[in-house]
């Protein structure tokens, strides 16, 4: 990659983070750092009773994500490019919508200590999609631990992500609405995105597919 050495792909559940991370890793001959959702022993209980199991679930994710990021840093990030299907800071997005005030106060103390010890991405790609699109994608992939995920919870999560990235300025940011594009099945969409990444700049950029640009001219 003659550009960002460490790219994080972010966005709400079902938006296609892992699929895009794999595709970018293949293109750039980079290693992948993938979130270990299924390894969380509290996740099934969380979707059944979020209030009761939120804190355990969140702490497990926080520690697990920190361990992965620490390993990445220790391997010398600059020897080989890396693509991740999450960024460490995303943990706080989920915490803010799931934890009580007292739980959040304790969580923040732990998060702030760990956050200073994790590598920051050179580029963050934020994937967006409409609520109904996400619900359909989640339903079609049929992950057992997502069966209890409600439309209301996903709506809150979408808002939390949008609010977080509205103020985000820690790294270059590329925002993509995936509701009408398909990186997996439409090669042109993926190729155009690769071009955007290769020419990524500081600040916030928006990816607009060529087909959308042509429609705007009509």
Instruction: List own/partner pairs for 160-165 with CB under 8 A and 24 or more apart.
Output: 160/93, 160/94, 160/96, 160/97, 161/10, 161/11, 161/12, 161/93, 161/126, 161/128, 162/128, 164/89, 164/92, 164/93, 165/10, 165/126
Is 163 labeled as catalytic in the residue annotation?
A: no
| Buried/exposed 11-23: b ≥16 CB within 10 Å, e otherwise | bbbbbbbbbbbbb
Is the separation of the CB atoms in 122 and 7 below 8 Å?
Answer: yes
CA distance 218 to 40: 49
Q: Which of 45, 49, 85, 132 is catalytic?
A: 85
For β-strands 123-128 and 6-10, DSSP reports them as parallel
CA distance 35 to 66: 11
Residues with Cβ within 8 Å of 137's Cβ and at least 6 positions away in sequence, in order, are 14, 15, 16, 129
Give me the residues paired with residue 8 across strands.
Answer: 84, 124
The residues assigned a catalytic role are 85
């Amino acid at each position: 990659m003659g550009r960002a050495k460490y790219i994080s792909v972010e966005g709400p559940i079902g938006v296609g983070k892992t699929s895009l991370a794999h595709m970018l890793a293949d293109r750039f001959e980079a290693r992948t750092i993938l979130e270990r959702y299924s390894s969380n022993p509290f996740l099934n209980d969380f979707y059944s009773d979020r209030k009761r199991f939120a804190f355990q679930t969140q702490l497990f994710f926080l520690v697990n994500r920190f361990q992965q990021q620490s390993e990445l840093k220790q391997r010398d990030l600059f020897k080989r490019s890396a693509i991740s299907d999450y960024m460490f800071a995303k943990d706080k997005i989920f915490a803010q919508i799931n934890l009580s005030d007292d739980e959040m106060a304790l969580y923040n103390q732990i998060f702030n200590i760990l956050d200073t010890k994790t590598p920051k991405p050179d580029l963050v790609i934020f994937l967006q999609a409409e609520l109904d699109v996400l619900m359909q994608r989640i339903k079609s992939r049929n992950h057992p631990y997502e069966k209890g995920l409600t439309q209301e919870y996903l709506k809150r999560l979408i808002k939390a992500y949008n609010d977080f990235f509205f103020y985000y300025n820690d790294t270059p940011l590329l925002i993509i609405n995936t509701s009408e594009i398909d990186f997996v099945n439409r090669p042109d969409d993926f190729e155009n995105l690769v071009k955007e990444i290769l020419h990524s700049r500081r600040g916030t950029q928006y990816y607009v597919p060529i087909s959308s640009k042509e429609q705007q001219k009509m």
